[in-house]
């Protein structure tokens, strides 16, 4: 699939688009490295998480949005705005995806609930919960070796408001994406 998509991309014969999508591939690799190097790290910051989320998810949506604008021939200001739209939409998407790891059943997710946390990938709900619940750090530091510790961690994340704060973050990023889209449409279609 990657080879096929690369072939189609090259046939667009638009070097700016090719460079943008090539950057996405680099970003994805950087995101994987950042994630792997911060497993079970309770000192990971929200900024670190958002950067990793940008590399792993939002970069693709941002670049794709900008590429669509480039291919339609709009000005560079609109192209840049579409990049920002896609970036914020992608970050919102990733935060929601990370929330679902705690709020959906294994059947709905297609993987065990809490799977990211169990593997040591600390996402927005966990980062927010760590700010309020010191006991959570001890559980994560143990890497869930004790029976029932993963369930205990999930319970703490829910009880101390990690899910709600992550929902607020997702909403903030989604609202910013919508604002950018509205501003861009005003530029494109003035009254």
> Which domain CATH number covers 176?
1.10.600.10
Domain total for the chain?
1
Q: Is residue 190 part of a domain?
A: no
The band of 145, judged by pLDDT with boundaries at 50, 70 and 90, is very high
* pLDDT value of position 139: 97
Could you read off the pLDDT of 156-184 as tens digits, one per residue?
Answer: 999 999 999 999 999 999 999 999 999 99
Q: Is residue 5 part of a domain?
A: no
Q: Is residue 39 part of a domain?
A: yes
Which of 97, 74, 51 is closest to 65 using CA atoms? Answer: 74
Q: Is residue 107 part of a domain?
A: yes
Counting every residue written for the chain, the total comes to 191
The band of 67, judged by pLDDT with boundaries at 50, 70 and 90, is very high
- The residue range of the domain holding 163 is 14-184
Q: Is residue 8 part of a domain?
A: no
**Mean pLDDT, rounded, for 117-136:** 97
**Mean pLDDT, rounded, for 110-123:** 88
**Mean pLDDT, rounded, for 128-139:** 97
User: Residue 94: exposed, middle, or buried by beta-carbon count in 10 A (0-12, 13-18, 19+)?
Assistant: buried
User: Residue 1: exposed, middle, or buried by beta-carbon count in 10 A (0-12, 13-18, 19+)?
Assistant: exposed
96-110, 128-142, 165-179: which range is least confident on average?
96-110
> pTM for this structure?
0.92
Q: Is residue 132 part of a domain?
A: yes
* pLDDT value of position 5: 76
Q: Is residue 26 part of a domain?
A: yes
Q: Is residue 178 part of a domain?
A: yes
* pLDDT value of position 106: 65
Write a three-state SS string for the chain. CHHHHHHHHHHCCCHHHHHHHHHHHHHHHHHHHHHHHCCCCCCCCHHHHHHHHHHHHHHHHHHHHHHHHHHHCCCHHHHHHHHHHHHHHHHHHHHHHHHHHHHCCHHHHCCCCCHHHHCCCCCHHHHHHHHHCHHHHHHHHCCCCCCCHHHHHHHHHHHCCHHHHHHHHHHHHHHHHHHHHHHHHHHHCCC
Place of tokens 């619940």: 133
Could you read off the pLDDT of 5-47 as tens digits, one per residue?
Answer: 778 878 888 999 999 988 999 999 999 999 999 999 999 999 9
């Amino acid at each position: 699939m990657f080879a096929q998509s690369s072939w189609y991309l090259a046939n667009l014969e638009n070097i700016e688009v090719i460079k943008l999508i090539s950057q996405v591939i680099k970003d994805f690799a950087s995101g994987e490295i950042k994630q792997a190097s911060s497993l079970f790290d309770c000192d990971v910051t929200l900024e670190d998480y958002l950067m990793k989320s940008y590399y792993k998810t939002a970069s693709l949506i941002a670049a794709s949005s900008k590429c669509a604008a480039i291919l339609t021939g709009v000005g560079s200001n609109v192209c840049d705005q579409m990049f920002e739209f896609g970036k914020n939409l992608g970050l919102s998407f990733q935060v929601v995806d990370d929330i679902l790891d705690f709020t959906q059943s294994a059947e709905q997710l297609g993987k065990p609930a809490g799977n990211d946390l169990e593997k040591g990938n600390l996402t927005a709900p966990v980062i927010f919960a760590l700010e309020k619940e010191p006991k959570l750090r001890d559980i994560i530091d143990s890497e869930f070796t004790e029976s029932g510790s993963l369930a205990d961690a999930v319970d703490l994340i829910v009880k101390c408001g990690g899910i709600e704060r992550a929902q607020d973050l997702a909403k903030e990023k989604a609202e910013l994406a919508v604002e950018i889209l509205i501003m861009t449409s005003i530029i494109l279609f003035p009254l």
